[in-house]
Chains A and B, each alone.
Chain A
Amino acid sequence: MGPTLDFLTLLPYVSELLKGFTTTVILTVVTTLTGLSLAVAVAYLRVNAQPWVRWGLGGYVEVTRNTPFIVQLFFIFFGLPGLGIKIDAITAAFIAMTLNLAAYSAEILRAGISATAKGQLEAGRALGMTTLQSYRHVVLVPAFARVYPALISQSIIVMLGSAVVSQISVFDLTYAANFIQSRNFRSFEVYLLITLVYLLLAFGMRRSFMLVGKRVFAYQQGEQR
């Protein structure tokens, strides 16, 4: 007798699955917003701030982009208490994901900003705008538009990478799956299920991004490309 699939064995754990799902969604939504906002600030400062600020931020970006996410997460959750900084697991997850997304996205955005025509900035200056005003009103939206597909992908990568936070006992979707299969030993069913959920989350995220982009970047529709 071969193994049989029985998804009904997951039924008693619906509340765990829902709890994990909710945590993953909240983590993703919040860190996408905080991460991309931080990325804007980092990208701006890496071009316009004092040299020592630029170097400091450059160090942060390079360290983040060249070390494993799980190590960053462990460092924040297990390492920082050594310095007397104690953070609960969910907060550590928020911080690690935000910092991770911000570092990658800042580099992506920087490319978008430097591709913005110098003439746009000069027009802003000729109209009396400060550098900050020019960035806010002139540079930011076209820069985002230029690198938007890359930012979507990066945000999805961080959402998928959030599975790792189960390792510091954050009750996310992956934690729920681990928990369930340790009880009912139905690992195939539960991991197949959350695989599908992650897949749908990724699709849903891409779609939401596209919808937002369509509104914000509506100006491009008349453009010939």
Chain B
Amino acid sequence: MTLVYVDNVHKAFGDLKVLKGINLSVAQGEVVAIIGRSGSGKSTLLRCLNQLEKHDSGQITIADKQLDAASMSPKELSENVGMVFQSFNLFPHKTVGENVCLAPLVVRGEEKAEVEKVAREVLEKVGLSDKYGAYPAQLSGGQQQRVAIARALAMRPKVMLCDEVTSALDPELVGEVLRVLEALAAEGMTLILVTHEMSFARDVADRVVFMHQGRIHEEGAPSELFSNPQTPELKQFISAVL
């Protein structure tokens, strides 16, 4: 079943055309890794999927519903799509528990006791149930990013977008975040991740999408794509990053 469907999406910032006709469909439970040089449009594509950037033309549907202000409210969008950022973006003045509970309380208006129960569950899932009352500043980068994942999970999204979620981390902290994502993937969560972790893309992704100059240049199963790249651009990219 197709969960995310992107049809001929264009996006420009002024004269700079960043996305030049993206077509992509992601099935329920699929893990898709988007790779490519910086400036190839991969982050912009991800940000269009939860409307942090509005696409100029083309269509995006999620769970068969059009993704635009007219047909999907911010609340509804947040219940479909969760996002984890490169720089965590935790709320510094709120404890870990409050970070996770905020959106379900404020946006969904759920019962406090129920929300706190869910918060403990998702924190358990990312291995941080003992940090419920800690402030973000008291956590390591890897722990902060796991809280950010838990915070997104608390809205029970259908698909999770991960924008270079390990790029701001010290090398020894990357593993703990990737393991959480791996576990999510194993549970059947649909994941779309922009990543520079090629080994992670190879091991966990069902499909790898290589973007180049605003287009999807090549895509396929990771084993195929990495061992047998078809285009010179991908060959060059792989030899540069591996």
Alpha-carbon separation in the docked complex, A220 to B107 (Å):
26
Whether a CB of chain A sits under 8 angstroms from the CB of B75 is: yes
In the complex, per-residue mask of B127-163: 1 if CB is within 8 Å of any chain A CB, else 0: 0000000110110000000001001100100000000
The answer to whether A128 and B93 have CB atoms under 8 Å apart is: no
Q: Which residues of A contact B81 (CB under 8 A)?
A: 126
Q: Which residues of B contact A123 (CB under 8 A)?
A: 83, 85, 89-91, 148
Report yes or no: B85 in contact with A133, Cβ–Cβ below 8 A: no
Q: How far is the CB of A1 from chain B (nearest CB, A)?
A: 64
B41 proximal to A (CB < 8 A): no
Q: Which of B81, B83, B89, B152 has the most CB of A within 10 A?
A: B89
Q: Interface range on chain A: under 10, 10 to 19, 20 to 34, or 35 or more?
A: 20 to 34
The reply to whether B94 and A219 form a contact with Cβ atoms under 8 Å apart is: yes
Binary interface encoding of chain B residues 148-190 relative to chain A, with 1 for a CB under 8 A from any of its CBs, else 0: 1001100100000000000000000000000000000000000
In angstroms, Cα B153 to Cα A38, docked, is 37
Residues in A whose Cβ lies below 8 Å from that of B103: 127-129
The tally of CB-CB contacts under 8 A between chains A and B is 77
Q: Which of A128-160 contact B (CB under 8 A)?
A: 128-130, 133, 137-138, 141-142, 145
Task: Tell me whether B137 and A224 are in contact (CB under 8 A).
Answer: yes
Q: How far is the CA of A128 from the CA of B75 in the complex (A)?
A: 5
Jot down 11 A-B pairs with beta carbons below 8 A, ordered by A: A119-B85, A122-B89, A123-B91, A123-B148, A126-B83, A127-B102, A127-B103, A127-B151, A128-B78, A222-B135, A222-B138
Task: Add 19 more A-B contacts to A128-B103, A224-B137 (CB < 8 A).
Answer: A119-B85, A120-B89, A122-B52, A122-B85, A123-B83, A125-B74, A127-B103, A127-B151, A128-B75, A128-B76, A128-B78, A128-B107, A129-B103, A129-B106, A137-B106, A142-B91, A220-B92, A222-B134, A222-B138
Residues of A within 8 A of B (CB): 117, 119-120, 122-123, 125-130, 133, 137-138, 141-142, 145, 217, 219-220, 222-224
B-side interface residues toward A, CB under 8 Å? 50, 52, 74-79, 81-83, 85, 87, 89-95, 102-103, 106-108, 134-135, 137-138, 148, 151-152, 155
